Amino acid sequence: MKAVYYFDIKKSIAPAKEFFTQYGLNLSKDHKDSVMAQIRARINFTLGRNGQAVPPIAKTLRNYSFFEIMCQDGKTLIRIFYFCHNEEKLVLLNALSKPARYEKGQKKRIVKIIDKELNITEQYRQNFIQNPNHYEVYK
Amino acid sequence: MKYINKKNYDPMVEACKNPKFKEYYQDACSRIDLAINVYNFRKQKGLSQEELAEKASTTQKIISKIENSQMNVGWDLIMRVLGNLGLKLKIIDSSIIELDCTQQYVYRILSDWNATNSKETSSSKSFVDHTTPCFFSNKLSNSN
């Protein structure tokens, strides 16, 4: 099994890769690289388990057909969504970051955003199943 | 927020160029290994994070952080947590394990039933045979 980034033709980006790029922008180089190392270790761990979501590193999502890898960076939780295609590819569909703990009055708004992202991710999954060549190699 | 739009920019590849990356990666692997073991054995013992925390004289938050592989665990704390899960920690020479990794040390957690075979651990073969599959069997060369 190998890991790949889902590539969205309409947006001309790989959403998960784009997230990693944008997330690192506001961090110092060492901090960014440390976060990337943590993410890479989790992805490789999941690859080593043939994409199986092994808690507490990864988990299944209720009502969705994909899984998530979790990575905490201080007070921020990074959620990376993936699914396994034909037991050949671990497709990194999308990723998002959220506060590990919600501040007062923020929860409802953030949950709404996350739900929206989850629905978009489900759409990405369906797009990939229809066009399995739309991916970027995860190096 | 700043925005980069470099078509060929790959944050993972860029990070791998950092000389410290391998060290970060190995630290992350060690923490994941510890997190998985603490989580699995805690579940096996039917303990909640609060119960384990109470037994190990720490807080639920700390147990949560260990299981999220989020913190460096001090020696005393790790011994208390593992002790309460019926586990012990062994530091061994990685050269005796047939793994594709270059680490100088490996956390190896042996369960109770493996501990009964501890006399046999002097030979590398029996050690590998009696231990549970370890995360470190993942090739670290992937990180490059």
Residue for token pair 């708004």: A109
B35 neighbourhood in chain A, CB within 8 Å? 56-57
- Asked if A41 has any chain B CB less than 8 Å from its own CB, the reply is yes
A24 neighbourhood in chain B, CB within 8 Å? 11
CB-based contact A20 B9, cutoff 8 Å: no
pLDDT band at residue A105, thresholds of 50, 70 and 90?
Answer: confident
- Asked if B132 has any chain A CB less than 8 Å from its own CB, the reply is no
Q: Which two tokens stand for residue A31?
A: 């901090």
Query: Which of A:80-119 have CB within 8 Å of B?
Result: none
Asked if residue B6 has pLDDT above 60, the reply is: no
Q: Rounded to an integer, what distance in angstroms lies between the CA atom of residue A81 and that of residue A5? A: 11
pLDDT for residue B96: 59
pLDDT for residue A91: 92
- Asked if A76 has any chain B CB less than 8 Å from its own CB, the reply is no
Question: Does ipTM surpass 0.90 in this model?
Answer: no
B66 neighbourhood in chain A, CB within 8 Å? none
Averaged over B54-58, what is the pLDDT? 89
Distances (CA, A) of B49 to A87, A102, B73, B133: 34, 21, 16, 24
Asked if residue A68 has pLDDT above 80, the reply is: yes
User: B79-87 — which CB contacts under 8 Å span 24+ positions?
Assistant: B80/B56, B81/B38, B81/B52, B81/B56, B82/B38, B82/B109, B83/B56, B84/B52, B84/B55, B84/B56, B85/B38, B85/B41, B85/B42, B85/B45, B85/B47, B85/B52, B86/B41, B86/B45, B86/B111, B86/B112, B87/B37, B87/B41, B87/B111, B87/B112
Higher pLDDT, A82 or B124: A82
Averaged over B22-50, what is the pLDDT? 89
